[in-house]
A and B are shown apart, each in its own frame.
Chain A
Amino acid sequence: MSIKLGFKKSSIAFTALLLSIGMTAQAGVVYDYIKNNNELMIATDANWAPFSYINDAGEMEGFDVDVGREIAKRMGVEARFITPDWGVITAGNWNMRWDVSVGSMTPTEGRSKVLNFPAVYYYTPAAFAVHTDSPVTTLAGLNGKNICTTASSTWEMYLEGSLDMLNAPAFTYKVTPGTITALADGHTCLDDTRLGAGVRNDGIIDSVPMIQGAIEDGYPIKFLGDPAFYEPLSVATDKGNSDAELDAEIARIILEMQKDYTLTSLSMKWFKNADGSSNDYTVAY
């Protein structure tokens, strides 16, 4: 909880604004600020276990949170988390309220207009799921049906057939829904599905670990077919305050974390299957 007005940041943002009137922000402004302030401000939506959520002690926890802490550690600064709505993060123009987003964001054409994506750190599969009583048994069976998902997510873009991911593994559109129910909070889709097959939706699309968690929690849903696509997930920085030095530093750290298997071990720690085995999502399939 921060009650400060952020005058220091406001003056820097103001300088950056003045500079940006010329053309681009001066390289290193944001990175120098992080170093001087000894604090990396990381934005992540706290709505997504096991990626990023509030644990029983009331603190941030999850795969993204661990990756964020590690990045800060390797920069030699403290990590501080801030939890705005997903839509506020993807809208860009952060004005140095926070420095980076380590929140499993998929690089897309649209988002790259306002955000930079310095480094992809892992890939998650997205899959369809239906109620256990659903008559639908194949992905083709979902054609023309009502599918629910999170608004302004890559899953919604997939349903619309407009998924413009950058540097992503190849994929095909396997389902053409009749209706797309896009909700601000994707969790509501799961609760809707629980009401029964075809009551509020015929199926959902979401990330595999998320659906896995719901199944383990006793939701009457099951996976339908193989994962629809694998999405690369990246650290994001603000294009409005572009800082090449910060981007380069993040890219270097992520590469280092891949090489010394830190990312792999974090993935194995957080992404477990029902049978207890772990998933390494840090390599593209």
Chain B
Amino acid sequence: MFVDTVVEDKALHKPAFLFGLSIAVLAIFFTFNFTNTIFGEFLSPVIGNPEKSGFFGRLAVSFVLTILFVANLLLISFARLKIQILIVWIELFLLFLAFAYSFDLEIAYIFSGQPSKIGLMISKGLFTTIYISAVSILIATAIAIVGAIAKLSNNGFAYAIASFYTSLFRGLPLLLQIYLIYMGLPQLGFMIDAIPSGIAALSLCYGAYMTEIFRAGIQSIPKGQWEASRALGFPFGLILRKIILPQSIPLIIPPTGNQFIAMLKDSSLVSVLGIWEIMFLAKKLGAKDFNHLEMLLTAAMIYWLLTIILEMIQARIERKYQQKT
């Protein structure tokens, strides 16, 4: 929410806006023609056979849908803010479920077998995904701290190496990096297995992005603070640890959290190396009985749930640092 003292009236409670919205929604429902769906069947006592109801049927169905939609919005608008957010979340989620359900899928397949397919994905895949992401995040953070310090230093070698590194690893697609590390390093006589290659690629790629985030965070602290600290006779390391970093961390945390979430999802790219993580199992378990979309949807749900947990943790950390400053 904006920290603003002037709060305007709710737009939904202005008749002109409400009328305009209704017309727009009606036009959309009319264009997409819901006559031959469940809504048409539901209204068949009024409009007769949905197939033959023609223009009148189409208009009637869109009209009813519009009233339902706008009434729903109006009702929600009277609720308290937290309730509003919750209701809209639930409604959007139900819409998403309806969307997935309309694919005409064999949802039971996900729970079939002993152990069930989803059970296999969680017992075999979830651990690997979390393990790979967690290790990569730790290494990437370490790389980012070193990289940011190097990029800010006056040492030509350190700056050159760090900027070359960020340029290279931000400039190549992650999938390509995974292949390069997995197939390229052994050519130099350094053999690494699939999981270490995946972790190396993820850490190096995200380390490069996070280097830039850390650098920007440190740079955003005004020059005067450095000068004042130097004037007090503090050594470099102490200034960084006690004065600069505590102020830049609240700025660094939100984009870093985004990187963690992105990394969790990008760990699916290492499935090409045959690592049995969530994406790999989703693809291969679905392939056996030709139920691809079912398993992909399952993987989607697992990833989503994981990122929701991460988002919550991120929000909590952000709040903690907001109070401090």
Taking the closest CB of chain B, its distance from the CB of A184, in whole angstroms, is 9
Q: Among the listed A4, A46, A88, which residue makes an inter-chain contact with B193, where contact means beta carbons less than 8 Å apart?
A: A4
> Which chain B residues in 181-210 approach chain A with CB under 8 Å?
182-183, 186-187, 189-196
A84 and B276 CA atoms in complex are apart in Å by 10
Binds B, one of A201-209, A213-221, A222-230: A213-221
Q: Does A258 contact B (CB under 8 A)?
A: no
Given contacts A17-B189, A49-B289, A56-B113, contact A85 B273 (CB under 8 A): yes
Contact call B287/A49, Cβ cutoff below 8 A: yes
Q: Does A65 contact B (CB under 8 A)?
A: no
Contact call A5/B189, Cβ cutoff below 8 A: no
Contacts of B183 in A (CB 8 A): 88, 91, 93
Q: Does B233 contact A (CB under 8 A)?
A: no
Q: Does A121 contact B (CB under 8 A)?
A: no
Given contacts A2-B193, A58-B115, A95-B191, contact A47 B128 (CB under 8 A): no
A38 and B195 CA atoms in complex are apart in Å by 23
Given contacts A53-B284, A84-B274, contact A95 B186 (CB under 8 A): yes
Q: Does B120 contact A (CB under 8 A)?
A: yes
Q: How many A-B residue pairs have CB under 8 A?
A: 104
Q: Does B114 contact A (CB under 8 A)?
A: yes
Taking the closest CB of chain B, its distance from the CB of A167, in whole angstroms, is 29
Q: Does A200 contact B (CB under 8 A)?
A: no
- Who on chain B is nearest to A16 by CB? B189
A61 and B289 CA atoms in complex are apart in Å by 13
Taking the closest CB of chain A, its distance from the CB of B111, in whole angstroms, is 12
Contact call B114/A56, Cβ cutoff below 8 A: yes
Contacts of A279 in B (CB 8 A): none
A2 and B275 CA atoms in complex are apart in Å by 9
Q: Does B290 contact A (CB under 8 A)?
A: yes
Contact call B287/A84, Cβ cutoff below 8 A: no
Q: Does A83 contact B (CB under 8 A)?
A: yes
A97 and B197 CA atoms in complex are apart in Å by 12
Contacts of B292 in A (CB 8 A): 187-188, 191
Contacts of A2 in B (CB 8 A): 193-195
Contact call B115/A187, Cβ cutoff below 8 A: no
Contacts of B288 in A (CB 8 A): 49, 53-55
A190 and B286 CA atoms in complex are apart in Å by 13
A93 and B284 CA atoms in complex are apart in Å by 24
Contacts of A6 in B (CB 8 A): 191-193
Residue among B114, B128, B274, B281 facing the most chain A CB atoms (10 A cut-off): B274
> Which chain B residues in 147-204 approach chain A with CB under 8 Å?
182-183, 186-187, 189-196
A237 and B159 CA atoms in complex are apart in Å by 45
Determine chain A's interface SS by DSSP, over half rule.
loop
Contacts of B190 in A (CB 8 A): 10, 14
> Which chain B residues in 54-77 approach chain A with CB under 8 Å?
none
Given contacts A4-B193, A58-B115, contact A13 B186 (CB under 8 A): yes
Q: A177-202 interface mask toward B, CB cutoff 8 Å, 1 = contact, 0 = none?
A: 00000000101101100000000000
Q: A1-23 interface mask toward B, CB cutoff 8 Å, 1 = contact, 0 = none?
A: 11111100110011001100000
- Who on chain A is nearest to B128 by CB? A1
Q: Does A48 contact B (CB under 8 A)?
A: yes
- Who on chain A is nearest to B113 by CB? A56
Contacts of A96 in B (CB 8 A): 191
Contacts of A56 in B (CB 8 A): 112-115
Q: Does A274 contact B (CB under 8 A)?
A: no
User: What 8 pairs across the A-B complex have the smallest Cβ distances?
Assistant: A95-B186, A10-B191, A84-B274, A56-B113, A83-B274, A14-B189, A53-B288, A49-B288
- Write 12 A-B pairs (CB below 8 A) sorted by A numbering: A1-B124, A2-B195, A4-B193, A10-B191, A14-B189, A58-B120, A58-B123, A88-B183, A93-B183, A97-B194, A191-B293, A213-B290
Which B residues are within 8 Å of any A CB, using their own CB?
A: 112-115, 120, 123-124, 128, 182-183, 186-187, 189-196, 272-276, 280-281, 283-290, 292-293
Knowing that A58-B124, A191-B292, A213-B290 touch, tell me 14 more A-B residue pairs with CB under 8 angstroms: A1-B128, A9-B191, A10-B190, A47-B284, A47-B287, A54-B120, A54-B281, A54-B284, A83-B274, A84-B273, A95-B186, A97-B191, A185-B283, A214-B290
